[in-house]
Amino acid sequence: MAQTAKKQDQTTGGFEHHPLDDLLRTDRIPHIWCPGCGIGPTFSATLRGILASGVDLGSTVMVSGIGCSGRAAGYVKLDSYHTTHGRAIPFATGMKLANPKLNVVVFSGDGDLFAIGGNHFIHAARRNMDLTVICVNNLNYGMTGGQAAATTPHMAKTTTTPKGNPERPFNLPLLAFAAGATFVARWTVLHGRDLMESVQAAMTRRGFSFIEVLAPCPINYGRRNKELPLVTLRNYQVNTIIKNEASPAELAASGSGPIVLGRFVDENRESFLSQYDKTYRPQLAPAGKE
Amino acid sequence: MNYWRVPLDAEVIPLTRGQVHVVEDRCKGCGYCIAYCPKKVLAPSEHYNKKGYHPPLVAKPADCVNCHYCESICPEFAIFSVEIPCSPDADRKDAA
Amino acid sequence: MPPVVLTGEHYMTGDEAIAEGAIAAGCRFFGGYPITPATEVAERMAHRLPGVGGVFIQMEDEIAAMASIIGASCAGVKAMTSTSGPGFSLMMENLGLAAITETPCVVVNVQRAGPSTGLPTQGAQGDMMQARWGSHGDYSLIALAPSTAQEAFHETIRAFNLAEKYRVPVLVMTDEVVGHMSERVVIPEASKLNVIERVKARGRKDRYRPFEPGENGVPPMAAAGEGYCVHVTGLTHDERGYPVMTAECQESMQTRLFAKIERNLDDIALTRGFFLDDAEIVLVSYGVSVRTCRAAMEEARALGYKVGLLQLLTVWPFPEEAVRALAGRVKAFITVEINLGQISLEVERLAAGLAPCFLAGHCGGTLISPDAVVEAVKRALKPGGKQ
Ligand code: SF4
Ligand code: SF4
Ligand code: SF4
């Protein structure tokens, strides 16, 4: 009885309408992500950023690859495409070029975007393709049970690096910047508001925007590296420093010293579509809206 | 109040008040909202939801300042706050 | 602005004719990657598409090219890519995505001799089974095989029509010889061309189910940005497009993916017969080898052999009825193809022991000579003759 009463207290009179419910396929919630998984808060900030940007939701699309993060496309109430492993970016590229009116968001994981999909990532960045790419970086392959990724810190334990990772991870913002991304930011799941604002900014600009989000994978990464989820979050809190416009070369996410967060790159360079239209389709110029 | 970094104007800006709602059956009991609520509004609970998790208990509802942090950190879309329109003579002492 | 349909008589290569066929069919997106002997398709598209309001993009590899055309098609635009052996292998992954998501698209394979890098500049027909089964899992698709530049033009239009009508990837399986040979191509007036558009989603947006079959078992399609809020996934899915990880859902989805092709064989499986009425020996062939067969047939007939030819314009789904109908009354089938026996296996399956089956084929790098086919005819007619 007491429980029922308690429950009543906490609800809005029976029907609880979360502010993001209109953007969720609520018939598919709860989602498949593990308790404490960082994909949820990243996804939620992404949705808030999309809403805040004021873009037309009817022409906003989410494209995902494969992996835990790739499932996001299945939960968003937008036109959404859950593609093949690593191929979200070229799929999204085709979609954006075929209908430039679409706002195309790629939401996927580090394994998907930077190992199997690394080639696509750098080329889309180089072209300054009109896409917003959000990468949930949880330092490993979660969906397949916690294998080493291109982002796994040196000496971290995963199922495929049982004695520690002999490799060196990517510095994702540096990679994105070097490849030509014109907007680069990095946040953690604790920085929901900053993340939301970066998504909002990315949605309303042209060209290739990249946002890395450090997010815990407590089940597969945390467990093997003796990191309880709240410890990971604590790390994001005490071991980070916000330095907008920091040089991307100084952004290695592991090693000694704090992890640098912020908006590092926000540069105006003509996007692929405006270059293409100018060069090849001058006849479309007046309507050449992206 | 527990700030990460105390805002310079913390003394002069009046805090808003919020009502926090928990969509209990969505909760997976990660405890993030409890750990990160700056006002310690939320607390662990004993009871189970449909899926067998312990959703947070709204222990001090009147203390909620509608900062939405719980909403932001929750991986499950299971908690959110709405602003309580504050009348000029709202009992701010109680809330703060 | 250049016209969309280049009505008139032209002297052009098969690759160029494919590009013109695509544009005439309404293709407005091409994602490509250079590869011999298919590069000329991409080059022509790069040149032609922007002028008709389309987009050409050269992607970073064939995996990306294939992904990009599926994305473009999901945005509501007819889309194509072209490649050859090595690139075709890379496209297999996303070909499966197009099949399971029922995304119309056209993939041209200008075949060269393989495996691996093989003979990049020399023709073969060795990718025919890969065309059918190259992506993992069970699925159905359509593959056409033009034998001349003129056919390349028309079959590319037909490829788009079938892709849009049945929401399926369609392959144009041509070869280096057809692709690179220049010959006469007559392009009719636009009004004389039959161009089919996909059935679009209509009606109440909240009631739309993206994979609920309509007529012919094909679901009407909503493009991104049309307000239908679709979810499309490469996972096994139900009619709402939502993933459902059960054997039952797998079965109902797969069954329909196959049925929409199988039930419409009459519309899809196109063949052409030459001298079949009195034929004792039937050559079965497709693509450039049809040209070999036509010469061989004349030669053989001059020698008094009653030889006919069954040309497969559609190779997949295999035109089963056409072979079955002949099996009871001919003395032998000879499949003529530039490989060591691929489509010949299908012919054998359908002849079902009613007629002996032979192969006139080789490893690729050159055409099969008409003489070799005539020799095969002679051997087939010898009692107990073996290829
Ligand atoms: S395995 Fe890791 S990344 Fe995947 S849902 Fe679980 S916690 Fe999240
Ligand atoms: S809105 Fe802020 S103060 Fe209110 S419960 Fe949530 S975290 Fe605590
Ligand atoms: S953050 Fe969300 S899922 Fe975690 S305990 Fe709080 S309400 Fe439950």
Of residues A20, A9, A13, A79, the one with CA closest to residue A49:
A20
**Residue B88 falls within a domain, yes or no?**
yes
Residue A170 belongs to some domain of the structure:
yes
CA dihedral B43, B48, B50, B53 (to 10 degrees): 60
Selected residues 196-255 of chain A with any CB under 8 Å from a CB in chain B: 196, 229-230, 233, 237
Looking at CA atoms only, how far is residue A102 from chain C in angstroms? 7
Is residue B6 domain-resident? no
- Residue spans of alpha helices (H) in chain C: 14-24, 39-48, 62-74, 85-100, 128-133, 149-166, 176-180, 247-262, 265-268, 289-302, 320-327, 343-351, 370-381
Parallel, antiparallel, or unpaired for β A79-82 and C231-233?
parallel
Q: Report which protein residue has its CA nearest ligand 2's atom 4.
A: B64
CATH for C8-192?
A: 3.40.50.970
Task: Give me the pLDDT at residue B1, please.
Answer: 60
A171 is a domain residue: yes
- How far is ligand 2, taken at its centre, from the CA of residue A170, in Å? 36
A99 part of a folded domain: yes
- pLDDT tens column, A48-62: 999 999 999 999 999
Q: Is residue B33 part of a domain?
A: yes
C78 touches C164 (CB < 8 A): yes
User: Would you kindly state where each structural domain of chain C is located, as residue ranges?
Assistant: 8-192, 205-266, 272-381
CB C71 within 8 A of CB A94: yes
Structural domain total, chain A: 1
What's B72's domain CATH number? 3.30.70.20
What gap in Å lies between CA A256 and CA A254, rounded to an integer? 7
Burial A200-222 (b: 16+ CB within 10 A, else e): bbbbebbbbbbbbbbbbbbbbbb
Q: What is the pLDDT of residue A274?
A: 96
Going from the Cα of A35 to the center of ligand 3, the distance in angstroms, rounded, reads 8
Whether the pLDDT of residue A13 is over 60: the answer is no
Could you list the residue range(s) of the whole structural domain that residue B71 is in? 18-95
Please report whether residue A252 resides in a domain.
no
Segment holding A10, helix H or strand E: helix A2-10
Instruction: Give the Cα separation of C1 and A282 in Å (integer).
Output: 11
pLDDT per residue rounded down to tens, chain C (387 residues): 678 999 999 999 999 999 999 999 999 999 999 999 999 999 999 999 999 999 999 999 999 999 999 999 999 999 999 999 999 999 999 999 999 999 999 999 999 999 999 999 999 999 999 999 999 999 999 999 999 999 999 999 999 999 999 999 999 999 999 999 999 999 999 999 999 999 999 999 999 999 999 988 999 999 999 999 999 999 999 999 999 999 999 999 999 999 999 999 999 999 999 999 999 999 999 999 999 999 999 999 999 999 999 999 999 999 999 999 999 999 999 999 999 999 999 999 999 999 999 999 999 999 999 999 999 999 999 876 554
The alpha carbon of residue A109 is apart from the nearest alpha carbon of chain C, in Å, by 17
Across the interface, whether the CB atoms of B4 and A193 are under 8 A apart is answered: no
- Please check whether residue B5 lies inside any domain of the structure: no
CA-based nearest residue to C376, from C282, C245, C239? C282
Instruction: Find the closest chain C residue to A98 by CA distance.
Output: C72
Q: What is the CATH number of domain C272-381?
A: 3.40.50.920
Give the ipTM. 0.97
pTM of the full structure: 0.95
For chain B, the domain total comes to 1
For residue B53, the ligand 3 atom closest to its alpha carbon is 8
- CB-defined site of ligand 2, < 6 Å: B 18, 20, 37-39, 41-42, 64-70, 81
Does this chain's domain C8-192 share its CATH topology with C272-381? Answer: yes
Residues of chain A neighbouring C60 (CB-CB closer than 8 A): 90, 119-120, 123
Q: Which residues of A touch B58 (CB under 8 A)?
A: 9-10
Q: A151-160 pLDDT, tens per residue?
A: 999 999 999 9
How far is it, in rounded angstroms, from Cα C66 to Cα C82?
9
Q: Which residues contact A283 (CB under 8 A, 6 or more apart)?
A: C1, C53
**SS3 state of residue C370:** helix
**Domain extent at residue A100:** 34-247+257-284
The Cα of B81 is separated from the nearest Cα of chain A by a number of Å equal to 9
- The verdict on a CB contact (< 8 Å) between B4 and A237 is yes
> Which protein residue has the closest C-alpha to ligand 1 atom 8?
A37
How far apart, in whole angstroms, are the C-alpha atoms of residue B40 and residue C338? 76
**CATH code, domain with A50:** 3.40.50.970
In a domain, B49, yes or no: yes
Which pLDDT score is estimated for A2? 36
